[in-house]
Amino acid sequence: MLKNKILLKISGSIAAYKSAYLISKLVQNGFEVQTVATESALRFIGKATLEGLTGKPVMTDSFADGEMMSHINLVKWADIVVLAPASANTINKLSAGIGDNLLTSLFLAHDWSKPYLIAPAMNTNMYQHPATTDALNKLRSWGVIILPTASGHLACGDIGKGKLLDPDMIFERIESLLKQNTMLHSNGIKVLITSGGTRENIDGVRYLSNLSTGKTGAVIADALIKSGYDITYLHSIDAALPAGVCRKIEFSDFRNLDSLIQSELKNNFNAVIHLAAVSDFSVSQLILNGETKSIPLKEKITSSVEEISLVMKPNYKIVDRIKDYSINKNLLLFSFKFTNGGNIEPVIEKQFRQSKSDYIIHNDLKSRMNNTQTSFGIYKEKFLIDTVKTSGELGNKIVGLIQKNK
């Protein structure tokens, strides 16, 4: 019995010949491989080579006879998608949402519960171009796994970054991801994690936000992924991302996050870990030189404006509504409370009462800065039940608490 099904995409790069070695190694190790190639890729490597190695026809055309629904069927068939080599042109198309051939259309139909791996290969200047850099960052934020390039002599004669990573290393990464993805669904427990800080836009370049980096959320997500949990990770635009394979969804402001949580909790999650630092206030009015403007202002406020006034309106507490949003009325809720000094007991008691949280994790900025308290306190029913020093320890504690309550 073959191990896994691998959809290997090949785009137009002179490094396409290296895909033959990768395919050969995958097939020899018991993997089933289906290739999809762009027309430009077939100028560098022939169909006969690819078909001979895989035992399957190369797919290139969304409109070929019998391939009308291939962009949907192949996504369902594959356990992992690998784009190697990935040219600058294809990378930039993917990030822009362009589906002008079978390879790019497949990306638009991708099932994000499955790993998507990209191995770039191009000239150094193309690799370091701002368009390519931005495209790779955007793809990474969506959950695409971007492999590094190798450095050395390039086909064009230059020396530098952009060389396709050694196929043996790509093979090892594929094996690792498939093992990880098998574990991802091993215990059937689904957890929704929110992480990072909301942004309340003022104009085209300015917004109000907070200090949240999302690093704690990413560490906790990885702890759960390693333990076999099925994770959906709602994260802010610049938040840290887990290294493990999970479904990643980006949020922007308070309204957007609230809407996403409501939508996701129509699915049957077992637990929610709500770490996101949510704005207590949103901008309701922007007044420039006495004139009220629509929020958010699309253009940048110029330096010629002499007086700016922001009117803020309070937001409701999303955490107080999570259990009401959920179709699972036995949902386990972990909420976080971030403080900066003061008496914590009444604050914790109020959050338990209003949010109906099962556990609250407390983190105090002032105590951490003064090194007078461990990083996280774990509360249940108003009582402190444990303390941990690091995000990694906290992640493992949460794993244990979910197991205890399942």
| Given the residues 156, 205, 365, 369, the one annotated as active site | 156
**What is the mean pLDDT of the segment spanning 239-245?**
86
99 in Cβ contact with 107 (< 8 Å): yes
94 in Cβ contact with 139 (< 8 Å): yes
The torsion angles phi and psi of 121, rounded to 5 degrees, stand at: -155, 115
45 versus 185: the higher-pLDDT residue is: 45
Within 10 A of 346 (CB to CB), how many other CB atoms are there?
10
Q: Which of 284-315 are b and which e, b meaning 16 or more Cβ less than 10 Å from the residue's Cβ?
A: eebebeeeebebbbeeebeeeeeeeeeeeeeb
Residue-wise pLDDT tens digits, 158-181: 666 788 999 999 999 998 888 776
Residue-wise pLDDT tens digits, 25-60: 999 999 999 999 999 999 999 999 999 999 999 998
Band (pLDDT 50/70/90 cuts) for residue 1 is: very low
d(CA 196, CA 187): 27
- Indicate the average pLDDT of the chain: 88
**pLDDT score, position 205:** 82
Band (pLDDT 50/70/90 cuts) for residue 63 is: low
Indicate whether 198 pLDDT > 80.
yes
**What is the mean pLDDT of the segment spanning 353-372?**
79
d(CA 217, CA 204): 28
Residue 156 annotated in active site: yes
Residue-wise pLDDT tens digits, 78-129: 999 999 999 999 999 999 999 999 999 999 999 887 889 999 999 888 999 9
Residue-wise pLDDT tens digits, 271-327: 999 999 999 998 888 888 888 887 778 788 888 888 888 888 999 999 999 999 999
